[in-house]
Amino acid sequence: MDKEERQVVVPGEMIAKGSEFLPGEGAYRDGMEVVAGRLGIVNISEKHIRVIPVSGAYYPRRGNTIIGTIVDITFNGWLIDFGGAQNAFLSVAEVPRYVNKNELREYLDFGDSVVVKVWDVKARGIDASMKMRGFGKIEGGMIVSVNPNKVPRIIGKEGSMVKIIKSATKCDITVGQNGKVWIAGNSIEEELATKKIIEFIVENATINGLTEKVEKYIKGLGMKVDKIEIVAENTDGESGGENDGE
Amino acid sequence: MEKAEEKMMASKKSESKTESLYTKRTDGRGFEELRPLKAKVGIVPSADGSAMFETGGTRAIAVVRGPRTLHPQHMQNPETGILRVNYGMMPFSVWERIRPGPSRRSEEISKVSEWALSSVIDLSGFPNTVVDVFIQIPQADAGTRVAGLNAAAMALAHAGIPMKEMISAIACGKMDRTLVVDVNKDEEDFEEGEGATDMPMAFTSRTKSLALLQLDGKISPEELKKAIEMGKKACEKILEVQVKALKEATGGKDE
C-alpha cells in the first residue's frame, strides 16, 4: 500500500510501488519499491519521494544559517563547532574584510561565537561563509540552545513567529538552523523574556494554533503584540532558510 | 537387578523421546507467547536518539549520540563513519549486585550487537565520525541482549541515522525437548532432561534476514530450523510495537 504525503515512515517501510517513482533524500529503491531509508515524514512532489527528518541530530544543508564557536585556527581560516558531525571551515577569503593571515586571531579568536552561512556541504566537511549581510561575529546578547528539529516552529511561516517575538520584546533574534538562537536586546530583562517565549514555542511545538497560543503567552508576560498580517500561503516552515540578523 | 535397571532406563529414554519433561511454562504462557511488550521513544531529551524496550521483567534503554568526530584520531575511518555499541547491566539489575564496568560478558554482547546493527545502518555519509550507542539494562529477567537490540534499533532510527531497515530481536529456547519463545530467567535455568538451550536471534524488518544468531546449549539441526521460524514470527510482533512507538514519538498518525 502506498504511503500518503506527510505520513511518518520507519526505516525499511515501503513508501510507493512502481518504477516511475524517484527516490530522493532519505529514501532508496529496492526492486519495484521505494523504501524509507530513515525515520521521517514522507514528502512526494511529482514522482520524487523524500523522507524529511523529524528527529535526531542536525545535518547541515546548503544555505542554512548556523551559529557556532571558533574551536581551531588553521593557516588560512577558522574551524567552527556548530554541534554537527564535523566542524565547519571558514576561510579568510569568506569574511567581509581583508584579514592578514598572520593575524587571524585578531579578527576571530578561540571561543568567539559567529553567525555564518553554510556555503557547501561535502562528505569531507562543511564550508562556511560570512560575506553576506546579517552574518558575522556575535557580540553581546545571549545564545539559547534548542532542539534543531523545532527550529521551523520558531521561525514560523515566512518568518512570522520571529516577527511576532521581535515586535513584542524589541530584541534582535537570529535563528540558526542548528538549534542555536542568538538574542540581542537592550536589557537583560528583555532578553530573558525572549528566551522564555522561545522555550514556550519549543515545548508546545506540536500543538495546533501555535501562533495564537504564543500571542496569548506574550500578553501574559505583560507585553504588547503588534498585529502582523501573515501571508496566507501554505509553506512548510521546514524550508525556511530564514535569517533575521539585521 | 542390573537388567531391571537397564530396562527402566530404556523405558525412560523411550518415554522422553515422545514426551518432553517441560510441558508447561513456569509463568503460564503459551509456548509461542511473548511476555507483555512495552516500548517508548525519546526518553532522554538531550540525546540525539533514545528508546526504551521492555519484555516482562526485562527492560533495556538505549541512547544514541552522534555522528560526531571520533577521537583518538587514529581510529577514524576516512571512508565511512563507525558504529560503537556499549552494553552494560546496571549494578541493581538482578538480585545479586553486578560489578559495574566492562566484563567478559558485556564486551561480547557489545560486539555482537554492534555487528547486528552494522548490517542495517549506513554511515558512509559521515566519514571520520562515530555513532555511539549506549545500552543499559536497569532490570533483567533473561533476554537482555535482544531487548537491548530492540531498544538500540529504535534509538538509532530516532536519531535519524540512515538505515536500510529496522531490527527486531528475540530469544528462543529449548527446555528439555520443548521449543519456546521469549525465554525468562526461570526457564534459562531449567536443568531437567536435556536442559535448557538459549538462542538469541535478530531479524531485519524488510528482507527478514538474520542479523544475529547465537546458541548456548545443544540442539538438533531440525529443531534449530523450527526455532528460527518461531523467532521470525515473534519478531513480527516486536516490530509492530517498535514501529508504533516510533510513530507515536514523532507525532505521526498511524494509517
Choose between B4 and A33: higher pLDDT. A33
Instruction: Give residues with Cβ within 8 angstroms of A45, minimum separation 6.
Output: none
Return the ∠ at Cα B244 (arms to A200 and B54), rounded to 5°: 95
pLDDT in tens, B153-163: 999 999 999 99
State yes or no: pLDDT of B32 exceeds 60.
yes
Give the nearest chain B residue to A83 (CA atoms).
B68
Give the single-character DSSP code of B121.
Answer: B
| Per-residue pLDDT at A215 | 87
Upper half-sphere CA count for residue B118 (Cβ side, 13 Å): 13
List, in order of start, the domains of chain A with CATH numbers.
Answer: 8-52 (2.40.50.100), 65-137 (2.40.50.140), 142-239 (3.30.1370.10)
* The three grid cell numbers given for residue A50, joined into one nine-digit string: 523524500
User: Could you tell me if B41 and A39 are in contact, meaning their C-beta atoms sit under 8 angstroms apart?
Assistant: no
- Residue B2: alpha-carbon gap to chain centroid: 48
- pLDDT band at A7; cut points 50, 70, 90: confident
Instruction: Quote the mean pLDDT of chain B.
Output: 90
Give the nearest chain B residue to A205 (CA atoms).
B251
Q: Give B49's contacts in chain A (Cβ within 8 Å).
A: 55-56
* The three grid cell numbers given for residue B94, joined into one nine-digit string: 538482578
pLDDT in tens, A48-77: 999 988 888 888 889 999 999 999 999 999
Nearest to B214, CA basis, from B125, B98, B108: B108
Nearest-Cα distance to chain B for A98, in Å, is 31
Q: Give A37's contacts in chain B (Cβ within 8 Å).
A: 122, 162-164
Q: Compute the distance between CA of residue A145 and CA of residue A41 in angstroms, rounded to an integer.
A: 24
Nearest to A2, CA basis, from A11, A14, A10, A19: A14
Q: Do B246 and A37 touch (CB under 8 A)?
A: no
User: Could you tell me if B184 and B170 are in contact, meaning their C-beta atoms sit under 8 angstroms apart?
Assistant: no
Q: Give A59's contacts in chain B (Cβ within 8 Å).
A: 160
Out of A41, A56, A123, name the one closest to residue B48 (CB): A56
Nearest-Cα distance to chain B for A96, in Å, is 29
* The three grid cell numbers given for residue A181, joined into one nine-digit string: 538562537
- Residue A209: alpha-carbon gap to chain centroid: 21
- pLDDT band at A230; cut points 50, 70, 90: low
pTM above 0.90, yes or no: no
Q: What is the mean pLDDT of residues B187-194?
A: 90
| Per-residue pLDDT at A46 | 85
Interface pTM, i.e. ipTM: 0.84
CATH topology of domain B28-246: Ribosomal Protein S5; domain 2 (3.30.230)
Q: Do A12 and B165 touch (CB under 8 A)?
A: yes
Q: Do B159 and A56 touch (CB under 8 A)?
A: yes
Out of A11, A39, A57, name the one closest to residue B250 (CB): A39
State yes or no: pLDDT of A12 exceeds 90.
yes
Q: Which residue has the cell 581583508?
A: A98
Give the nearest chain B residue to A82 (CA atoms).
B68
State yes or no: pLDDT of B104 exceeds 60.
yes
Q: Do A85 and B81 touch (CB under 8 A)?
A: yes
State yes or no: pLDDT of A228 exceeds 90.
no
| Per-residue pLDDT at A134 | 86
Helix/strand number for chain B, H first, E second: 5, 9
Give the nearest chain B residue to A87 (CA atoms).
B69
Q: Compute the distance between CA of residue A183 and CA of residue A139 in angstroms, rounded to an integer.
A: 10
pLDDT in tens, A85-137: 888 999 999 999 899 988 899 999 999 999 999 999 887 789 999 998 889 99
User: Could you tell me if B113 and B85 are in contact, meaning their C-beta atoms sit under 8 angstroms apart?
Assistant: yes
Q: Compute the distance between CA of residue A52 and CA of residue A43 in angstroms, rounded to an integer.
A: 7
Q: Compute the distance between CA of residue A92 and CA of residue A129 in angstroms, rounded to an integer.
A: 9
* The three grid cell numbers given for residue B93, joined into one nine-digit string: 539489575
Q: What is the mean pLDDT of residues A8-31?
A: 92
State yes or no: pLDDT of B144 exceeds 50.
yes
Neighbours of B46 (CB within 10 A): 9
A→B interface, C-beta within 8 Å: 7-8, 10-13, 26, 28, 30, 35, 37-41, 53-57, 59, 85-87, 123-124, 147, 206
State yes or no: pLDDT of B253 exceeds 70.
no
Q: Which phi and psi (to 5°) does residue A232 adopt?
A: -80, 65
Give the DSSP letter string of B150-200. HHHHHHHHHTT--BSS-EEEEEEEEETTEEEES--HHHHT--STT-EEEEE
Neighbours of A20 (CB within 10 A): 9
Give the single-character DSSP code of A41.
Answer: E
| Per-residue pLDDT at B9 | 58
Q: What is the mean pLDDT of residues A215-227?
A: 80
- CA distances to B77, B120, B240 from B129, in Å: 8, 17, 31
Which of B208, B247, B250 is the best substitution to test chain A (most A C-beta atoms within 10 A)? B250
For the four alpha carbons of B146, B147, B153 and B155, in that order, the dihedral sign comes to negative
Out of A7, A54, A123, name the one closest to residue B125 (CB): A123
Q: Compute the distance between CA of residue B111 and CA of residue B105 in angstroms, rounded to an integer.
A: 10
* The three grid cell numbers given for residue A223, joined into one nine-digit string: 507585553
Give the gyration radius of chain A's Cα atoms: 20
Least confident range of A151-160, B32-41, B112-121:
A151-160
Nearest-Cα distance to chain A for B249, in Å, is 9
Q: Give A86's contacts in chain B (Cβ within 8 Å).
A: 69, 126, 128-129
Q: What H or E segment, with its residue span, contains residue B161?
A: none
- CA distances to A70, A178, B97, B120 from B141, in Å: 48, 41, 14, 27
| Per-residue pLDDT at B10 | 53
